[in-house]
Structure 1
């Protein structure tokens, strides 16, 4: 019972209060405060944290040398894919892109957000400190990929608001470098993506300055860049992990269908 209580305390996150009435003390304007609030609510980490609690409490991983059934770890990690899908479905800036351009960016955005979700939940839950969990992850995904995730955790910030902003920033990170044969993204979408990238980076920086001051903002923003650069290497390496690619294909397919049905519903409502 004591172990369960300790785990619950460990996984309890309280978002730092962002008082919109104090926004005049920062360089953020009202539209940027609203954007921050929307991005915070677009990424819901609650299911990830609940899944981590269940994994630790039901399998007693802190006291066993090896987890008997590797599927319980895989089922837990699948929550990172579900969280990613829900985020993409909730991000207004992603949804307003033309369907064809959105389709091109979908896999890239999903890979990035899922990767950052994995880094976040491993760090937040401290699952990486349990030998049985790490042995199972090595078995499922390969030791090299697991070590890369552990390395990325050195740069993840404890501020959950910043992690949520980073997930949104990373969703569009390097997205204009995507090349797809026989497809040219229209100039309007390119301009829109540039605007999204710029606005996300700007509010992230201004939030850091507002909350921590310039000196800490520089240090934390530098760590954020290091984290995203490391995560980029992880997403590239993960293409060789068959379990990951299968789960990612399933996520992308389900998200495509969901977004397509939403588009049809919107068209029908516009006609009416």
Structure 2
């Protein structure tokens, strides 16, 4: 006699709802390391595939010399997780990822690979070996290269650390908190009183000062003599603060507010504001790339945009400054190669050159505004006082 089991509608509904709820929970999970979407647990923690592979490659080398120049306090996100190996690995261990789970999960696979490899090497010639591997063992056995060969990066560990330091320095000192406070302050005002000329003028002055502070905190800048730092300040401040300011405008989409744009036209003249908008539209969408370009420009040794009398160019350590330029340029190129490949890297550098020509025109037009000159002089004077201290 056959035994049958019946399930009523309420039980079925409960099971289905439970399965749906589980699926929802699985889909909405985030990686505990970088915050990107994740669905499965690897080595004891729910992480994305990228962080899983990163931990698998680096966990055994935990005792290796991995250095972070910011006291291991880098905030690891999906956008910058490749920048600081030390902080990323430390976070993996802190979240609970375990080395022993790597060994246990790969033990059977390694045994199987060694067995297949032994059989192939013992019984077959090289010509028949490839045929057998492709036909019979492809799902199980894939000849592997070394980890370094499978994850070739044009940047070494020192360059990754330098990249992390430059990005972290910009994010820490460029005034993001100030901009957010400014926006909150303006949004609390009645609509007719928002983004008026005095507040927008003070905003630009503060933004330029914050951008300049980024390069004052740069460790390579601090390694130079006070004379060379002052000289570089005078030759680069217009570029760095102008591009950095336009980068900030793009980040917060401030030109989308008509009152803000109108006040900007009053400060920098309509022609200067027009060129600034063109620069914002042409800036590369990769924020890290822009920060690296600003770092290069902060060590520029020439300034022919606007003629000035008695422009100091007598740098005492020109070779040291040029070596910093070369180091930053090489880092930028390697970063583009790593992220985009050769073809896309060339395109982005070409687009950057076109954008720099527009930036030059924007600075020339801005010199028609006395307020712009006063802002630059204010930043120079403020920085000189800091250097003296």
Other-structure match for 1:176: 302
Alignment of 1:20-31 (within 5 A): 20-21=84-85, 25-31=152-158
Q: Which residue of 1 aligns with 2:277?
A: 150
| 1:223 aligned residue (351, 360, 369) | 351
CA deviation string 1:136-183 (max 9, x = no partner): 11112110110111011122122221121111112223x235787496
Equivalence for 1:43: 170
Distance across 1 between alignment mates of 2:366 and 2:329? 26
User: CA separation in 2, counterparts of 1:142 and 1:251?
Assistant: 20
What is the number of residues matched between the two proteins? 247
Q: Any stretches of 5+ residues in structure 2 without a counterpart?
A: 1-76, 86-146
Task: Decide which of 229, 235, 241 is 2:363's aligned counterpart.
Answer: 235
Mapped to 1, the partners of 2:161 and 2:293 lie a distance apart of: 16
In the alignment, does 2:247 pair up with 1:120?
yes
CA RMSD of aligned residues (A): 3.0
Q: Is it true that 1:185 corresponds to 2:314 in the alignment?
A: yes
Q: Equivalences for 1:93-172 in 2 at 5 Å?
A: 93-172=220-299
Equivalent position to 1:248, from 372, 376, 379: 376
Counting helix residues as a fraction of each chain, which structure ranks higher?
1
Please give the alpha-carbon distance, in whole angstroms, between the structure 2 residues aligned to 1:135 and 1:215: 40
Per-residue CA deviations over 1:63-93 (Å, capped at 9, x if unaligned) read: 9577473212122222322212311221122
- Deviating beyond 6 angstroms after TM superposition, the runs of 4 or more aligned structure 1 residues are none
Whether 1:53 and 2:180 are equivalent positions in the alignment is yes
Aligned to 1:17: 81
TM-score for both structures, normalised by structure 1:
0.78
Name the structure 2 match of 1:268. Answer: none
Q: Deviations over 1:15-36 (max 9, x none)?
A: 4322555996311122222221
Q: Contact 2:211/2:245 (CA < 8 Å) preserved in 1? A: no
Cα shift at 1:237: 2.9
Query: 2 CA distance for matches of 1:36 and 1:128?
Result: 30
**Distance in 1 between the 2:182 and 2:379 partners?**
22
> Measured at CA, do residues 180 and 36 of structure 1 come closer, stay the same or move farther in structure 2, by a change above 3 Å?
farther
Contact 1:65–1:131 (8 Å) recurs in 2: no
Aligned to 2:197: 70
Please identify, of 67-76 and 18-27, the stretch whose mean Cα deviation from structure 2 is larger: 18-27
Q: 2:47 maps to what in 1? A: none
Q: Which of 196, 212, 234 pairs up with 2:340?
A: 212
8 Å CA contact 1:85, 1:110 repeated in 2: yes
TM-score by length of 2: 0.56
Correspondence 1:76-91 to 2 at 5 A:
76-91=203-218
Do 2:195 and 2:263's aligned partners in 1 also have CA atoms closer than 8 Å? no
Q: Which runs of 5+ in 1 are unaligned?
A: 1-12, 262-272
Higher relative contact order (CA 8 A, sep 6+): 1
**What CA distance in whole angstroms lies between the structure 1 residues aligned with 2:175 and 2:372?**
17
Matches of 2:208 and 2:289, distance apart in 1: 20
Question: SS of the residue aligned with 1:53?
Answer: helix
TM-aligned CA distance change 1:160 to 1:177, over 3 Å: closer
Query: How many Å separate the matches in 2 of 1:30 and 1:68?
Result: 45
**Cα deviation, residue 126, structure 1:** 1.1
Instruction: Find the aligned partners of 1:73 and 1:165 in 2 and give their Cα distance.
Output: 27
